[in-house]
Each structure stands twice: as C-alpha cells, then as structure tokens.
Amino acid sequence: MSRTSYFMSRRLALSTLIAAAAALGLMGCATVTSAPTDTALAGRWSRDKAASDDVDAKVTASIATAQTNLRRRLNRSGYGNPQGDGPPSSNGDNAPGGADAPDESFDTPGDRYGGPGLLGPDFRGLRARLLQALRSPAELQIEVQGDLVRLADDHLPPRDYRLGERISRFDEYGTAIINATWSHQAFVLRSSYTSHASRNERYQVNPATGVLTLTQEINDPYIGKISLHSVYRRS
C-alpha cells in the first residue's frame, strides 16, 4: 500500500469514528417529550413504613457527623471547641434555651453580643428543614398523561409537572428551579436551590414486584448528601 493510500484509509477511518461518536452523543442528549408507553407509575400508593428508611435516624446521623467535622476544623483553626468537650447533641440542639431558641453553639463569643463571626450553620433549624423536606408522604396519587405527570400526596392539592418545563417553587427547604424528566422507567424531579443545595426525587416501579420506590436525595452545602428510600404498594 502506498503512503497516500495509507493516509487516506486512516483519514476515512477517523472520520467514521467521529461521525459515530457524534451520533451517539445526539442519541444520549435526546429530549424526552413523553412518558414511556409501558409505565406502571400511575395509580394510588400507600407507604410501607416498615420497609422504608427512617428519616429521623438518617437526618440525625448526618447532622451529628457534620457537627463533629465542623468542630474538628474549628479546633485545627485555633478557635477551640465551641461546645466544650461533650459530644454533639443527637438532634442538633446544642444551645441552651429550649427547642425554639437560636442555635448559637458554633458562634464565637462576640457573636452573642451582636458582633459578626458566625462559624457554622444553625444546625437546629437545618435539621427541622431537612426533616420537612425528606419526610415522605403516607399516600401518593400519580397520574401520567403524555408529557404531564400529576403528583398528589396526603390529600394535598396536586402538583403538575410537564417534561422540559422549568418550574420555580418555594418549599420547606427554600426557593428552587425544578426540572422534570423520565430516565427509562423512572420519573425524576431535579431541584436546584438558591442556597446551592440540590435535590433529586426519583419515582420508579419494580416490574418484578410491582413495588414503587421513591428515592429522595438532598445534597446540602453543610451536611453533604442524604439519601432516603421510601417503599410504596398499591392501595
């Protein structure tokens, strides 16, 4: 084979590979415009509490870990232990004054007299918001109609989500922009908050068991990632 023929063959092979890669990329980025024709998501569902994760235990463990990590960073920075030598409270209530008092356990002494210098979040308030955001409903009603998915839970007014539509919503965790899409057989809601937190909700039915699993995942700037699985059966 001549050098010219060799280089022409190499160039043709390279062009073929580039074209194939571009086609695959377009397929992977294709916009979902309708629900899968064989989706089993629609219907009325009741939560199986025994088979679901315990939201209180998950949030409590995450808060305790975040408090411990922050305390270690403060010690390394020379601020000392802002709560003394005791372990962090299991419910995020580190400051005296009762459950409704501001959590000042990670303030410097000057902060409590009105000066700046907050060293950490209000873990008590953060814990309350996380519990509200992640506590799964006891009942779910789901309707699927083409590009529309309607979710209603615990006898509250339904919420409508259209594929490809960006929705602004203020909920217990803050202000978010929500995108709705389908990932194979799962309906997915992705929320981006102004606080730089993110939240994913994934509704998926196991075709073998007929069980619906709601997977909620929050990525919080202070706490990190928390995942919660709730199991539902048809009612």
CATH tag, 40-53+137-234:
2.40.128.20
pLDDT at 9: 55
Domain range list for the chain: 40-53+137-234, 60-128
Q: DSSP secondary-structure letter at 157?
A: P
Tell me how crowded residue 89 is: count the other CB atoms within 10 A of its CB.
Answer: 19
pLDDT at 70: 86
* Cβ-contact 165, 180 below 8 angstroms: yes
Ranges under pLDDT 70 in the chain: 1-33, 79-119
- pTM beyond 0.75: the answer is no
* Cβ-contact 235, 139 below 8 angstroms: yes
Amino acid (1-letter code) at residue 102: P
Residue 214: which of 46, 17, 96, 59 has the closest Cα? 46
Residue found by looking up tokens 């994934």 in the block: 202
Q: Where are the beta strands (DSSP E) in 93-208?
A: 139-145, 148-153, 159-162, 166-171, 174-183, 186-193, 198-205
Separation in Å, CA 96 to CA 63, 66, 100, 124, 161:
18, 20, 10, 12, 43
* Cβ-contact 198, 192 below 8 angstroms: yes
pLDDT at 173: 77
User: What does the pLDDT look like over 100-117, one tens digit per residue?
Assistant: 444 545 544 444 444 444
pLDDT at 86: 46
User: What does the pLDDT look like over 147-186, one tens digit per residue?
Assistant: 999 999 987 889 999 998 899 988 877 899 999 999 988 9
The Cα–Cα gap between 168 and 210 comes to 32
Residue 33: which of 128, 172, 115, 148 has the closest Cα? 148
Half-sphere exposure of residue 82, counting CA atoms within 13 Å on the CB side? 28
* Residue 71 main-chain phi, psi, to 5 deg: -60, -40
Long-range Cβ contacts of 184-191 (<8 Å, 24+ apart): 184/36, 185/36, 185/38, 185/39, 185/40, 185/41, 187/35, 187/39, 187/41, 187/144, 187/149, 189/161
